[in-house]
Structure 1
Amino acid sequence: MAAAALNLLIYLFWISLLFFSGSLQLCIEEERKALLSVRSGFPDVDRRLSPWTDDDCCSWEGVGCNNVTGHVIELDLSSTIYHLQFGTVFNRSEVHPSLFHLKHLEYLDISRNNLSGHQISSEIGSLTQLQHLDLSHCHFGGEIPHQLGNLSHLRHLSLFHNRISGKIPASFVHLRNLHLLNLSSNSIIGEIPENIGNLRNIERLLLSDNQIEGVIPKSIGNLSKMSSLDLSLNRIVGGLPETIGNLTALQNLDLSYNDIDGKIPDSIGNLIQLEFLYIHVNNISGSIPDALGSLCNLSTIDLSYNSITGGLTEFFEELSRCRTNKLFFLGMQSNQLSGPFPSEFERLQRLTYLYLGYNQLSGSVSTSLGKLSALMTLSLCSNYLVGDITEAHFANLTNLYYMDISDNNLSVKVSQDWLPPFQAVGIRMGSCNLGPRFPPWVRNQTILNELDISNNGISDAFPDWFWSLCTSYLELDVSHNHMRGMLPRSLECFKNVNSFDLSYNSFEGFIPRMHASQLHLDLSHNSFSGPIPKSMFVEVDDVSYMFLSNNKLNGSIPSSICTQRELQIVNLANNDLSGTLPDCWGNASKLVIIDISTNKLSGRITKTFGLLAGLQSLHMNNNSLSGTIPSTLQHCNQLVVIDLSWNKLSGAIPSWFGRKLSTLRVLSLRSNNFAGAIPPQLSLIPSLQVLNLAHNNLFGSLPPSFGMFSSMMTSQNKESTPLYDDSFYYKESVSITAKDSELLYTTLLSVVTSIDLSNNNLSGDIPREITNLHGLRFLNLSMNHFLGNIPYEIGLMGQLESLDLSENQLSGKIPSSVSNLNFLGTLNLSYNNLIGKIPTGTQLQTFTNLSYIGNPKLCGEPLQTKCSDDNPTIDSRGANEEEDMHEDDEHGGIWYFIGFAPGFVFGFWGFMGAVMITRSTRIKYILIIDRICYWFMCR
């Protein structure tokens, strides 16, 4: 009894102590001073916390103490500010060393303070009692200190959104009590450690938005308590381990934006608690496991942008078996899914977002789709779907907000008085056979911002009611129809026009006024007339893409075009524009493509073009521009295409083309008045694949260095690749004279290789080095003054499709190696001084006598002149001595000297023997020599 009474007194003592502790002074002076020093390093905290003025530090806002010992165990100095937003500069914070005197801290949060330029101190490892550590949004740099592994009591560790680099420390394996590890949004490298599986208490592992490489370790399957795994936005490779099926508590799995390949393992069917599955933008292949459809807790599945194959029938059958299907988001866009379109939609009553576009699904669209009353977004675009879309497909889609069924073989067939049950913001029905009338049901869509009814056979004009819709935002695409009529003079009721594509129609009249932002304007291939309105560039902010080509526009290019600082592409080609070029291009500093070809522009190329540092394509061909090429253009060192052909430009071809424009792939200066020699520096452009200097006044020899164009020395990739980034918006094209006609190359331009120097005054020999261009497809040196032989090695240019050496002064025989040119479709050697027999070969038999006329000493098929025999004449042998040496085998020179040596020996000693053997002959020979010497001395 005495012992029990004693225990009771002790319990009462502690209870009373705890009861009265609220009124006791518990703050430890040393820790109080440390807290004040620490807070002084975080000036932005003053916006959130009240001042610390009284003596009891345990009562300070943001501070918590142990009620028994009085030690500080909690410190929250987090800021409410997210630093460096919108260019705002905030106060710089600093971690005071006094922080590490608070040895009893269990909770520390200094998140959202500006600690830019600092590293996480290794002394953090001395706070061994920490259970919660939040250093997120602090802009820490450097590596993670391995001393963090000393914090064995840690349950919550967040370093989210810093600038931390280096690997995940191996010491993290000691954090066995860790429940949350958040290292997302840093620059962490290396692989996920294999011993990550030792963190068996972890519930949330967040490593997204780093530079982590390697595979997902199999030991990940040991983390059976984990509810959230986020490895997105890294560089992870390899397949998904089967052990991922061990994570039976997993609710959120995000592996998106990596390079993961292989199949989705069947073990994923074990994740019965899974609610969110994100594996989009990877290289996943194989079919979708049927077991995935049996995970009835899934609300989000996103497998878009992979290489998944197979059908969807079994997967949708599994989904429909779920007693209570929770599926909210289904994304399988941009894969290789095939087979029939699913028909089981009735049970997916919660489905709100359905993305099946950009696949290979076939068959008709089931009307059961119209029963998804919760559906807000529907994307079926770019498949092989067929059949009719009727009113039944939309019957219950009362919440439909966005729809894209374009680019299939569907036909939308609804009545003229149909009223859609939805109010959509975006409708895309490109290539859906809506015509010939403009769809009247659009009038009911009062909040419509995006409408794509391109390529629908519409031959109607815009109805008047369409322009009265007056929404706040407009993206309109009616391109590739047969629409006609005039546009209203003003579209100002649309508060913001973002994309306006009326191309490839028959609209006429003036270009309307409009308010816009980031405008993509395409009015090309119509019959618009009048001048380009100056107000377009004054009242419209930030035009990005402007296509006005192939119209009937006249007048000058307004100088206000230069005010568009966001302008990236301007295409004014094929109009009747005149006058001089504006001299203000430096203001439109983001310009990438300029095409003002085929107009009536005159004057000089202004120097301000040289301020366009990002310019990649420049087309000014087919105008009347004069003067020289301004030297400032050399500052446009990202140029890929320059076409200044068919103008009146003069002067020398600048040598800086070769030294400054190293990315150039197409250079066309044909049909101008350029004079002087061809600068050999052009061969310094490694990427050049189309060179056209034809029809100028160039003279001198062809530089031997032209055999060093590296992009012409090997065959270009057969796959058509864009010349530059913006080729998606602009179809690059260059005209090449070959095969007896003008060829316009667009899609295949990236694989074309061509040199055209025709119709100049070039002279001298054709250098043998030109035959190093084994990938060259078109070579035209006609109408010059080239002399000498055709290089025998020309047969090595195996990719040649067209060869024109006509109207020169070439001599000698046609090299027999020409018969090796198996792709040759055009050959013109006419009007030279070639002699001898025309070589035979399979490809050469396809050419007519027009390839050889004007060479009176040629003979053989297809000419009517027969060769007398196969032996060359004395003249032809002399003229072809150099060629015959090439026709010897590689040891011809050795055999020459082997034959020469015995002849010299027998000839010399035969003569000496005849002189020296008999005495009388020897005396007569010496007397003759003596008389000859005397005769020279006397003279």
Structure 2
Amino acid sequence: MALCSFERLLVSFLVLVVVCAKAGLGTTVGCVERERQALLRFKHGLVDDYGILSSWDTRDCCQWRGVQCSNQSGHIILLHLPAHWSENTDDYQSLRGEISPSLLELEHLTHLDLSFNDFGRRPIPPFLASLTKIQHLSLSNANFSGRLPSQLGNLSNLLSLDLNLNFNLHSGNLEWLSHLTSLRHLDLNFVDLSKAIHWSQAINKLPSLIHLNLQYCSLPPLTTPSLSPVNSSAPLAFLDLHFNDLTSSIFPWLFNFATTLVHLDLSWNDHLNGSIPDAFGNMISLTYLDISHNQLQGSIPDIFGNMASLERLDLSVNKLKGEIPKSLSNLCRLQGLSLSHNNLSGQLPQDLLACANDTLEILYLSGNQLTGSVPDLTGFSSLQALELDQNQINGTLPTSIGQLTKLQVLDIGSNSLQGAISEAHLHHLSQLYYLDLSSNSLTFNMSSEWVPPFQLNSLILTSCQLGPRFPSWLRTQKQLESLDISNSNISDVIPGWFWNLTSRIQAFNISNNQITGTLPNVSSKFDHSIYIDMSSNYLEGSIPQLPSNLAWLDLSNNKFSGSITLLCTVANSYLVYLDLSNNLLSGELANCWPQWKRLTVLNLENNQFSGKIPKSFGSLQSIQTLHLRNNNLIGELPSSLKKCKSLRFIDLAKNRFSGKIPTWIGRNLPNLMVLNLQSNKFSGSISLEICQLKKIQILDLSSNNMSGTIPRCLSNFTGMTKNGTLTLTVAYSYSFYNSFMSFSPKSYDDRELVKWKGREFEFKNTLGLVKCIDFSSNKLTGEIPKEVTDLLKLVSLNFSRNNLTGLIPTTIGQLKSLEVLDLSQNQLIGEIPSSLSEIDRLSNLDLSNNNLSGKIPRGTQLQSFNASAYEGNPTLCGLPLLKKCLEDKAEGAPNASSYEDDIQQDGNDMWFYVSIALGFIVGFWGVCGTLLLNNSWRYAYFRFLNKIKDWLYVTTTINMARLRRSLQS
């Protein structure tokens, strides 16, 4: 019996082994054929440029790249085909095409990842919502477009959904999300949700949501913000809402997750304003809080000191003010603090974050108004980045800074530091790669044998005292990518070893020194696109052969001479900025402009160039600024320039250009804001097409041979009817990257010489506010068009030295912004309009040498000018001229010269009338009073009067009788 039992046990064991063996063999047999065929049809709809699916030709699809099958059933459960980055091609190796409905055969699929492929801006296929067992769906950065299919709400088993970086997807309603009750991870970055006004309610209905990414979604503000949080059971821990259109109405909704949130990013919401709510103090689980780049105001609340778990706090780029609160010293776990670019003031606390001296890695306080000295940070053993630049910090730099052995970034530029920098300041900073001590009053005292312990990527020492020699320790820095030692009192020849530093360098600036000598051939010295600024020195000789990958070159304000033909060796499309102004360069302009497709700023003014503008200038289709002032250029303007439709600024003054001003300037250059053709030989009339320059702000055609009348359509210059910005900024794209400074668009603030009050002034920081028209010193005839008075923001108007006739427009007083008005040396007639006296800003006026007549209007403004502003008008009268007007003489109108006499005369008249009154009183009462008081005198007086009366009667009667007799005879 025992044997039988044993045999039965052995048989059972063998059966089990066979079953297990068969099961094991089943995993190697291959996938389900129906699913294999589905994958092949899926492959057929794709374009595989890189052979990603080259393994999809064997029998067992479970062995194919990106495919995973179930060990138990053999069904495909995972399809993982994201594109991958190739260092060889410097690009993603991806699939293209469309997603085949054959994927519906993969009924057991739980994981689908097709991210970073290219599906040609097709919509996300709604049939994917039929894969009901899907738990993880990633279609990020796969070039889908169109409306987000609401059918995705059918994927009730979904744990994670990633549709990030599909820039053309949009959704006006997220209600479908409420059905994804198992969803833990949701990433909709860059999906346009600007019309999803009830997005927060949809999020509230996801009870399992832990991680939510809604960056760059144009999220609208909450339409019905409540005063108290909305109930939600979601255990949300990670929330990123940066770069949206949120307002402060988001705060009550956020505080619903106060006890669960660990990571919160609200940065770059431009409408998020007001003060920081105290309710943040209840978010005790937060380890990461970023509310930077907003419009937050008020002071930094003390409640942050209660958030003991905080490791990163970023409040930078807001409008916060006041002092840094002492409560921040309670944050003992803090690793990073950024309060940069606010309006914080007060003393920089010397014990700031002392509690976090073992953990603090990043401290950014730049761009405020903090005062005091640099604190002693000796105990901050973990500190890696310290930025205190652009404040009002004074004193000296403590040598204890040299004890921060992990420091990688040190930026204390643009402060009021003084004193010397010695080797002790930098002795132990072996990990330092970014150093900025610029714009202080610091002097470097290093021995010629000193070897720094670091290898810097960026060194910025603008306005530090390094000279008179190039610092010898600089030659040890082999990893430099950017170098700025401008305005550092160097009066030396560039040493040969300097050019050996340039193998990695992408930007260097040695401008505003007293550097002498010539430049060697540097065409092979730079491996990357390069920014070079050597302006404002004493460099001389010819411009050498330059690197072919040059992106920015400024050699202005030197003594370079000869031609610029070697510039043609810069045969690339990287060059965006070229400034060779204020040198001694000569010859014709090189004819290699077509190779610089991205050139945006070209400045060749104040040289000795001759010849014509090459027709190839028309290939500069990105150019915005063209300065050719003060050369010897001749000929007509080439019509090819009309292709340069991006031009905003043209200065061709003080050359010998001739011919008519082309009509295509108005028709083809719609963005033009400055046109200066002063002091050339242009002739002909001013065409009506010039009025199509609606954005023009400075128009100078002075000192030419222009004839004809001034167009009446000047009122089309709408750029002169609106307020301007301070600067005329030219934006351009310049690819500059190193390990600390990432790529960003650059800009250039243009500058221009403008005739102002009889002299030329250079405007830069306020150039955008200058609105002027100058047609002076030509042969223009006809009347001043009254339409010019519609240019309400005009600041300077000069029509002098022409042959203009007629009246000054009576509406001239509309130009309330006018500061300069010169109409002198014409043939204008009539009276000066009274409205001219209403322009309060007028500070320079010249109406001399015309035929103006009548009285100068009374008003403080017009009488304040010197008489020379009105001289040469024979029939003009009134102050400040000495010539009185007739009505002033007739009316006895007082004038300035007789003012004191008038006062004296008024005094004499007053005493005269007083004397008459006194005489009358004395005479009356002296005679009549006596008669009233004395009776005998009164009787005698009246008898005497009676005798006189009788005598007059008798005498008159006799004489009348004699007269009658004489007449009768």
Q: TM-score range by the shorter chain?
A: 0.7 to 0.9
Give the corresponding residue for 2:907: none
Which of the numbers 205, 212, 215 marks the counterpart of 1:208? 215
Q: Give, in angstroms, the shift of residue 868 of structure 1.
A: 2.1
Q: Give, in angstroms, the shift of residue 542 of structure 1.
A: 2.3
User: 1-side partners of 2:879 and 2:187: how far apart?
Assistant: 81
Give the corresponding residue for 1:692: 700
User: 2-side partners of 1:608 and 1:774: how far apart?
Assistant: 39
Give the corresponding residue for 1:797: 815
Query: CA separation of 1:23/1:476 partners in 2, compared to 1, >3 Å: closer, same or farther?
Result: closer
Amino acid in structure 2 at the alignment position of 1:501: N
Amino acid in structure 2 at the alignment position of 1:813: E
Give the corresponding residue for 2:491: 484
Q: Give, in angstroms, the shift of residue 851 of structure 1.
A: 1.0
Give the corresponding residue for 2:144: 140
Query: CA separation of 1:521/1:47 partners in 2, compared to 1, >3 Å: closer, same or farther?
Result: closer
Q: In structure 1, the residue corresponding to 2:859 is in which secondary structure?
A: coil
User: 2-side partners of 1:673 and 1:172: how far apart?
Assistant: 72
Are 2:808 and 1:775 equivalent residues in the alignment?
Answer: no
User: 1-side partners of 2:458 and 2:869: how far apart?
Assistant: 58
Counterparts of 1:497-536 in structure 2, within 5 Å, are 497-514=505-522, 515-516=525-526, 517-533=528-544, 535=545
Q: Give, in angstroms, the shift of residue 704 of structure 1.
A: 1.2
TM-score (norm 2): 0.81
User: 2-side partners of 1:733 and 1:59: how far apart?
Assistant: 64
Give the corresponding residue for 1:810: 828
Q: Give, in angstroms, the shift of residue 722 of structure 1.
A: 3.2
User: 2-side partners of 1:835 and 1:93: how far apart?
Assistant: 83
Could you tell me whether the CA contact under 8 Å between 1:830 and 1:850 is conserved in 2? yes
Are 2:638 and 1:641 equivalent residues in the alignment?
Answer: no
Q: Give, in angstroms, the shift of residue 347 of structure 1.
A: 2.7
Query: CA separation of 1:686/1:315 partners in 2, compared to 1, >3 Å: closer, same or farther?
Result: farther
Could you tell me whether the CA contact under 8 Å between 1:144 and 1:164 is conserved in 2? no
Counterparts of 1:569-608 in structure 2, within 5 Å, are 569-608=577-616
Give the corresponding residue for 1:232: 242
Are 2:718 and 1:734 equivalent residues in the alignment?
Answer: no
Are 2:269 and 1:284 equivalent residues in the alignment?
Answer: no
Q: Give, in angstroms, the shift of residue 316 of structure 1.
A: 2.4
User: 2-side partners of 1:757 and 1:439: how far apart?
Assistant: 61
Q: In structure 2, the residue corresponding to 1:743 is in which secondary structure?
A: strand
Q: Give, in angstroms, the shift of residue 761 of structure 1.
A: 0.8
Give the corresponding residue for 2:325: 313
**Deviation per CA, 1:384-410, whole angstroms, max 9, x where unpaired?**
212221212x14201212211011112
Query: CA separation of 1:220/1:388 partners in 2, compared to 1, >3 Å: closer, same or farther?
Result: farther
Could you tell me whether the CA contact under 8 Å between 2:153 and 2:179 is conserved in 1? yes
Counterparts of 1:661-676 in structure 2, within 5 Å, are 661-676=669-684
| Range moving further from structure 2, 163-172 or 701-710 | 163-172
User: 1-side partners of 2:116 and 2:718: how far apart?
Assistant: 53
**Deviation per CA, 1:619-662, whole angstroms, max 9, x where unpaired?**
11111111111111111111111111111111001111111111
User: 1-side partners of 2:880 and 2:231: how far apart?
Assistant: 78
Could you tell me whether the CA contact under 8 Å between 1:622 and 1:647 is conserved in 2? yes
Give the corresponding residue for 2:164: 160
Q: In structure 2, the residue corresponding to 1:836 is in which secondary structure?
A: strand
Which of the numbers 542, 550, 566 marks the counterpart of 2:549? 542
Are 2:274 and 1:269 equivalent residues in the alignment?
Answer: no
Amino acid in structure 2 at the alignment position of 1:97: P
Give the corresponding residue for 1:78: 81
| Range moving further from structure 2, 818-827 or 205-214 | 205-214
Query: CA separation of 1:793/1:140 partners in 2, compared to 1, >3 Å: closer, same or farther?
Result: closer
**Deviation per CA, 1:692-745, whole angstroms, max 9, x where unpaired?**
11111111111111233212234x24x514343269764522222232322222
Query: CA separation of 1:804/1:567 partners in 2, compared to 1, >3 Å: closer, same or farther?
Result: same
User: 2-side partners of 1:61 and 1:574: how far apart?
Assistant: 63
Counterparts of 1:124-523 in structure 2, within 5 Å, are 124-163=128-167, 165-167=169-171, 169-191=174-196, 192-215=199-222, 222-247=232-257, 248-259=259-270, 260-319=272-331, 322=332, 325=333, 327-342=334-349, 343-348=351-356, 349-367=358-376, 369-392=377-400, 394-415=401-422, 420-423=427-430, 424-435=432-443, 443-463=451-471, 465-466=472-473, 468-489=475-496, 491-494=498-501, 495-514=503-522, 515-516=525-526, 517-523=528-534
Could you tell me whether the CA contact under 8 Å between 1:640 and 1:723 is conserved in 2? no
User: 2-side partners of 1:788 and 1:332: how far apart?
Assistant: 64
Q: Give, in angstroms, the shift of residue 581 of structure 1.
A: 0.7
Which of the numbers 843, 853, 858 marks the counterpart of 1:825? 843
Query: CA separation of 1:89/1:290 partners in 2, compared to 1, >3 Å: closer, same or farther?
Result: same
Could you tell me whether the CA contact under 8 Å between 1:672 and 1:696 is conserved in 2? yes
Query: CA separation of 1:530/1:87 partners in 2, compared to 1, >3 Å: closer, same or farther?
Result: same
Give the corresponding residue for 1:626: 634
Contiguous gaps of at least 5 residues in structure 1? 1-11, 873-939
Which of the numbers 828, 847, 863 marks the counterpart of 2:865? 847
Are 2:728 and 1:722 equivalent residues in the alignment?
Answer: yes
Q: Structure 1 vs Structure 2: percent identity of aligned residues? A: 35
Q: In structure 2, the residue corresponding to 1:273 is in which secondary structure?
A: coil
Are 2:839 and 1:834 equivalent residues in the alignment?
Answer: no
User: 2-side partners of 1:303 and 1:169: how far apart?
Assistant: 31
Q: In structure 2, the residue corresponding to 1:843 is in which secondary structure?
A: helix
Q: In structure 1, the residue corresponding to 2:816 is in which secondary structure?
A: coil
Amino acid in structure 1 at the alignment position of 2:561: N
User: 2-side partners of 1:668 and 1:436: how far apart?
Assistant: 46
User: 2-side partners of 1:140 and 1:121: how far apart?
Assistant: 10
User: 2-side partners of 1:258 and 1:277: how far apart?
Assistant: 14
Give the corresponding residue for 1:6: none
Give the corresponding residue for 1:905: none
Query: CA separation of 1:834/1:438 partners in 2, compared to 1, >3 Å: closer, same or farther?
Result: farther
Larger Rg, first or second structure (1 or 2)? 2
Query: CA separation of 1:233/1:858 partners in 2, compared to 1, >3 Å: closer, same or farther?
Result: closer
Q: In structure 2, the residue corresponding to 1:645 is in which secondary structure?
A: coil
User: 2-side partners of 1:842 and 1:59: how far apart?
Assistant: 92
Could you tell me whether the CA contact under 8 Å between 1:49 and 1:62 is conserved in 2? no
| Range moving further from structure 2, 376-385 or 297-306 | 297-306
TM-score (norm 1): 0.83
Amino acid in structure 2 at the alignment position of 1:592: T
**Deviation per CA, 1:48-76, whole angstroms, max 9, x where unpaired?**
79657557979998343484xx4836132
Query: CA separation of 1:831/1:139 partners in 2, compared to 1, >3 Å: closer, same or farther?
Result: closer
User: 2-side partners of 1:441 and 1:774: how far apart?
Assistant: 65
Query: CA separation of 1:352/1:49 partners in 2, compared to 1, >3 Å: closer, same or farther?
Result: farther
Could you tell me whether the CA contact under 8 Å between 2:536 and 2:558 is conserved in 1? yes
Could you tell me whether the CA contact under 8 Å between 2:783 and 2:805 is conserved in 1? yes
Give the corresponding residue for 2:661: 653
Give the corresponding residue for 2:960: none
User: 2-side partners of 1:120 and 1:756: how far apart?
Assistant: 60
Are 2:27 and 1:22 equivalent residues in the alignment?
Answer: no
Aligned length: 844
Give the corresponding residue for 1:613: 621
Are 2:574 and 1:566 equivalent residues in the alignment?
Answer: yes
Q: Give, in angstroms, the shift of residue 850 of structure 1.
A: 0.7
Give the corresponding residue for 2:930: none
Query: CA separation of 1:137/1:797 partners in 2, compared to 1, >3 Å: closer, same or farther?
Result: closer
Query: What is the root-mean-square deviation in Å for CA atoms of aligned residues?
Result: 3.2
Q: Give, in angstroms, the shift of residue 280 of structure 1.
A: 2.7
Give the corresponding residue for 1:915: none
User: 2-side partners of 1:482 and 1:60: how far apart?
Assistant: 63
Q: In structure 1, the residue corresponding to 2:529 is in which secondary structure?
A: strand
Q: Give, in angstroms, the shift of residue 775 of structure 1.
A: 1.6
Q: Give, in angstroms, the shift of residue 144 of structure 1.
A: 2.2
Give the corresponding residue for 1:937: none
Could you tell me whether the CA contact under 8 Å between 1:438 and 1:458 is conserved in 2? no
